[in-house]
Structure 1
Amino acid sequence: MRGRVLIIAGSDSGGGAGIQADIKAVTALGGYAMTAVAALTAQDTHGVRAVMPVPPDFIALQMRLCLADIGADAVKTGMLASPEIIETVVAVLTELGAPALVVDPVMVAKGGQRLLEDRAVSVAIERLLPIATLLTPNTVEATALTGLAVDSVDDMRRAADRLLGFGARAVLMKGGHRAGPVVTDVLVTPMGEHTYTAPRIDTVHTHGTGCTLASAIACGLAQGLDAPTAVARAHAYVQEAIRTAPGFGGGHGPLNHAHTVRPFP
């Protein structure tokens, strides 16, 4: 076991996304996962029924105890539902000196439910993005953050450049929401870009792909991989997890997080 990852995100009672998916992905890739639960959700493969945010002071306490005792080589954030929660997370990470920080800007659930308050978007842009090592928006999230339409790969590059301007050190634009037989993700950094492509898998069992990808990347960074290599491994991991999904539930089912047995390149 190598690479300590602190995950700050919401819990998914159905086990396919959120904290549950994060823990599974980090464990499958040989890392050690810790959590600061930022919200509780009642959900299944059909959607989110209810959300209960965790008080910011309790989120901060979870973070402080994990970081002071075990320590972290990377931090991953997911669902941070309110401005107060975002401010708290940023304050603790800034005070204690955040290691590599992967920010998954979770805004909308797979079933269409909003998971981020409207007023939290500007706080995320002003406070969270400037300390992000890597930001992992899909095209819908990128539009919400930048105001730019994201319909093509060139649009993805333009949105990534805008997000770099907000302070993120690297941006992985995820193309899964775009139509077409090939899914293209683009990693953009001030030094250049890397493109990752894969055939689109015809399945509804894609619940938790964003959470899983971001946590897999955070695990790679925690283990000392550079960003392009961490993304490449995470991308391959998620593709196989989708391809071998167990088919559970009557809606958007979970991935097969357990498939990896040789986690290191």
Structure 2
Amino acid sequence: MDIMKIADKLYKVFVVAGSEPLGTAGIQADMKAIVACGGYAAGAVICIVDEDTTHVKGVHLIPADMIAGQIRSFLGDVGADCIKTGMLYSKNIIRLVAGILDEYSSIPVVVDPVMVTSSGDKLLEEDAVQAYKDYLFPRASILTPNKKEAEWLCGKELNEGNIEECLKDLSRWGNSVVIKSVENRDFFIDYYYNPVEKVMKVYKKEGIRTRNVNGTGDSFASAIATFLSKGYGIEFAVAEAERFIQQSIELGARFKFGRGFGPVYPYYEVQE
């Protein structure tokens, strides 16, 4: 190892999310993406999910005082350059996390409102959707819902005619937003909007024939968080994360992983 190539600063990204046994999604996918993008990954576990590649079998919540303790132990002692939230599951947890993040208001926050798996299993309780809007979105630097999550948040089915309206609705707290994975024939489109600078961008990507897409959203949001931790602006962070996730999907498509939805592969840069 060339010691001179090691950064003189740890770009610390703290993740608040669920854990699952496959390493395809949740905090495991977050940490892989953060490391692959050059950050230092740490995190608090919200819940433990039992799942295989075909469906979720059970969710066990961590006690609230333990969740709060994990977050405060890291942020109060070490500190973070960016915070990323993933699966939070319930209204009470969202409210708890948002309250703690208010104590660290100078740290940028990437909110990935995880609501559903690649196989279609729901990952939150009904009252959690409104709780995101009431408590956590006002703390966010950027939101990264996929199309289905954006539809639940906006209360309507999305199409080319109303996507801009939904982007503006989800950025009303002053945050940027990316609505991911909108299908358009043989392409997938991500829509980005920054309400402060009134900038909208469209990322159009060719579809890749693969079932290894579990954790795509986790990895993408964590990549954004890592580039923000390095001091880059939102637009640059999103553009770099777009490049990162597309290449991770392309490489992940090579592998066979279980009977259902496998992972992306974030370590493309170390492949020969």
Range into which the TM-score falls when normalised by the shorter chain: over 0.9
CA distance in 2, matches of 1:208, 1:148: 25
Kept after mapping to 2: 8 A contact 1:135/1:168: no
- Equivalences for residues 83-162 of structure 1 within 5 A: 83-152=91-160, 154-162=161-169
TM-score, L = length of structure 2? 0.91
Helix, strand or coil for the counterpart of 2:47? Answer: strand
Q: Which of the residues 4, 8, 15 maps onto 1:7? A: 15
Q: Which amino acid aligns with 1:54?
A: I
CA distance in 2, matches of 1:78, 1:248: 23
Unpaired runs of at least 5, structure 1: none
Instruction: Write the deviation string for residues 120-150 of structure 1: whole angstroms up to 9, x where unpaired.
Output: 1111111111111000011111111111221
Amino-acid identity (%): 39
TM-score, L = length of structure 1? 0.94
Match of 1:186 in 2: 191
Q: CA RMSD in A?
A: 1.5
- Equivalences for residues 38-117 of structure 1 within 5 A: 38-117=46-125
Match of 2:218 in 1: 211
CA distance in 1, matches of 2:106, 2:42: 15
CA distance in 1, matches of 2:85, 2:106: 12
1:171 aligns with 2:180: no
Moved over 6 A (4+): none
Shift of 1:112: 1.2
Larger Rg: 2
Shift of 1:151: 2.4
Shift of 1:261: 4.6
1:247 aligns with 2:256: yes
Kept after mapping to 1: 8 A contact 2:14/2:82: yes
Shift of 1:98: 4.8
Instruction: Write the deviation string for residues 174-228 of structure 1: whole angstroms up to 9, x where unpaired.
Output: 1x25242121111101121122121111111111100000000000100111111
Shift of 1:257: 1.9
Unpaired runs of at least 5, structure 2: 1-6
Count, aligned residues: 259
Shift of 1:56: 1.6
CA distance in 2, matches of 1:106, 1:144: 11
CA distance in 2, matches of 1:177, 1:186: 8
Kept after mapping to 2: 8 A contact 1:75/1:98: no
Instruction: Write the deviation string for residues 24-81 of structure 1: whole angstroms up to 9, x where unpaired.
Output: 0000111001111011001121121111111121111111111122210100000001
Q: Which amino acid aligns with 1:251?
A: G
Kept after mapping to 2: 8 A contact 1:194/1:228: no
1:24 aligns with 2:25: no
Q: Which amino acid aligns with 1:187?
A: Y
